[in-house]
Copies of this chain bind each other. A is one copy, B any other.
Amino acid sequence: MSGENIRIEDLLKECSSSGLRRTAALEACLRALASAEQPMTLQQIAASSAFDVSCDPATIYRLVSRLEERRIVRRIGFHSRAAHYCLRESHHQDYLICRDCGSVEVLDIACPVEHLEKKIAQESGFSDLEHELEFFGRCANCQD
């Protein structure tokens, strides 16, 4: 777990140097996100066992928004009503989602889209390009 702690510490430093204050809610938020195996909704963050302070939903909303602006977290759409968030890992992840039960699996594949990104950036004039790739289907459990 000390590796985890170091990771949180690094993230907190990044937050501080980008102007955020080191509050209990911020730490809890980062811990929750770091401990998750999948992208989480704001509700899931609040309910996470790693989120050990009580705080208002609006606070989590604002925290995660600030983290997103600073590109410390990444927002992911999926198809649920609520947005999902995850720490922006060094390597990009794609997802496999069940249309019926909503389960999410991380696809740790070599994403075939990376090289396209540069080409699209050039042709379109867009900057700061990134992509989101999801596969939707029906999982084994839901096929009956």
Task: Write the residues of chain A forming the contact surface with B, with a CB cutoff of 8 angstroms.
Answer: 75, 77-79, 83, 96, 98-99, 105, 107, 109, 112-113, 116-117, 120-121, 124-140, 143
Contacts and interface: CB of A to CB of B under 8 A. Distances in A.
A118 to B, nearest CB: 11
A140 B143 CA distance: 45
Contacts of A107: 120
Contact of A126 (B79, B126, B139): B139
B136 A130 contact: yes
Contacts of A113: 112-113, 133
B112 A137 contact: no
A83 B77 CA distance: 10
A129 to B, nearest CB: 4
9 contacts: A77-B79, A79-B83, A96-B126, A112-B112, A112-B113, A113-B113, A125-B140, A129-B136, A130-B135
B112 A126 contact: no
A137 to B, nearest CB: 4
